[in-house]
Amino acid sequence: MAATAASSLQIAATRRPSIASSTSKVVKAGSYNVGFNPGNTSWDKLTSTRHLSNLGCLRNQNHSAVPTSKRPFSAKAMSESSETKASSSGLPIDLRGKRAFIAGIADDNGYGWAIAKSLAAAGAEILVGTWVPALNIFETSLRRGKFDQSRVLPDGSLMEIKKVYALDAVFDNPEDVPEDIKANKRYAGSSNWTVQEAAECVKNDFGSIDILVHSLANGPEVSKPLLETSRKGYLAAISASSYSFVSLLRHFLPIMNPGGASISLTYIASERIIPGYGGGMSSAKAALESDTRVLAFEAGRKQNIRVNTISAGPLGSRAAKAIGFIDTMIEYSYNNGPIQKTLTAEEVGNAAAFLASPLASAITGATIYVDNGLNAMGVALDSPVFKDLNNKN
Ligand code: NAD
């Protein structure tokens, strides 16, 4: 495994040249009193939304007239100005000598890819589990260099994926696989893709792993409100999005080195109402977070493995786009979060690298928010209610 000091990811006290900082002048010029002014504080600056309507809130503007590249909150998996470049000082995240299996990568747009990159930047060896129906196109694209630009690490080298494994995380072993799936031509060309078999293959190929990442979810009825979700759809969401993690950890645990870590990805819809995130997906994420705590205890006591989940902000991944309202959620997050900048997948990747590293050795059973702080907000600043209050003042 290529392991150079320069490849280690470093925590550096740098600030991204962000949309927020570039709009600071606008914030001052456009103070917008929303009606709660406790004494002489600069409350109006904190709650200012004028700059939001100038720059961030394009809800009432014609989106199609604004090129995606010019939109301040456009979704992108990787920031162009990387904060992860190794610097000569700082506290290093050093994962050299560690091996990671990341389940749920089928392109270079999602959180799984970004996590793989951050782990690779910190020196870890990368193995990937790709959903069987997406395997062929992912491997072909990888082979043909379609992802080469996205593979560039902070030190200029390309992320190497040591091996891609076929995986369908809703099936634990071959006995679980129904005939129609066995006969499906998208599955016919692959083998050993149940969770148990994938873990066995990794064991045969590499012996052990140190880091297990679950970056996958699926809810066939996600676009239906919970009230209209069928039992089948609800259970399918739980199976693909929550039990899949239980199964992965259960089957990979025997080959995980003590001191290792596992990480999954969750979403705030588990604990707050997000209309549109339906089909039992909110329930599945709630289960995933609860399981994170129970599994942290069980895997911790059994094998000194830490179990955490990252509650990530919205990203325009392939899966999220399929849900249909991701651009609205990205815009909402930008307009209402405490840190007003575009959330990048890279930031989630870096948090995962930290959680996987010995620097996080006392963190387990936790849901870690990587969402520009949106989870902490109690009000939506761009609500018309605040505009009315302001007009009355
Ligand atoms: P993504 O499309 O990059 O990843 C989802 C992956 O799941 C895909 O690669 C897909 O092939 C895989 N998958 C689906 N069913 C599978 C199965 N049965 N077996 C194996 N793989 C399967 O999208 P993403 O948004 O990066 O999703 C990754 C994780 O992040 C998910 O858990 C998602 O819920 C979570 N998340 C996403 C957002 C967001 O806004 N995109 C926000 C918070 C959390």
pLDDT in tens, 141-165: 999 999 999 999 999 999 999 999 9
pLDDT exceeding 90 applies to what percent of the chain?
A: 73
The whole-angstrom distance between residue 36's C-alpha and the CA centroid of its chain comes to 35
Measuring from atom 35 of ligand 1, which residue has the nearest CA?
Answer: 265
Q: What pLDDT does 46 receive?
A: 58
Q: Is the pLDDT of residue 64 over 50?
A: no
**Nearest atom (ligand 1) to Cα of 316:** 41
Distance 323 CA to ligand 1 centre (A): 11
Residue 214 CB partners (closer than 8 Å, separation 6+)? 103, 104, 169, 244, 245, 248, 249, 262, 263, 264, 265
Q: Is the pLDDT of residue 66 over 50?
A: no
Q: In the beta sheet, which residues pair with residue 128? A: 102, 164
Measuring from atom 10 of ligand 1, which residue has the nearest CA?
Answer: 104
- Degrees to nearest 5, angle at CA 79 with 115 and 59: 110
- 309 vs 42, residue with greater confidence: 309
Measuring from atom 8 of ligand 1, which residue has the nearest CA?
Answer: 104
The pLDDT confidence band at residue 183, using thresholds 50, 70 and 90, is very high
Measure the N-to-C terminal CA separation of the chain; round to a whole number of Å. Answer: 64
Residue range 12-37: mean pLDDT, rounded: 29
State how far the alpha carbon of 26 is from the alpha carbons of 23, 48, 51, 309, in Å.
Answer: 5, 10, 6, 36
| DSSP letter string, 244-255 | HHHHHHHHHGGG
Residue 111: CB within 6 Å of ligand 1? yes
pLDDT per position as a tens digit, 121-137: 999 999 999 999 999 99
pLDDT per position as a tens digit, 325-379: 999 999 999 999 999 999 999 999 999 999 999 999 999 999 999 999 999 999 9
Catalytic residues: 242, 285
Contact 193, 167 (CB under 8 A): yes
Determine how many CB atoms are found less than 10 A away from the CB of residue 88: 7
Q: What pLDDT does 388 receive?
A: 73
- Token pair in block for residue 43: 């409350």
pTM (whole model) above 0.75: yes
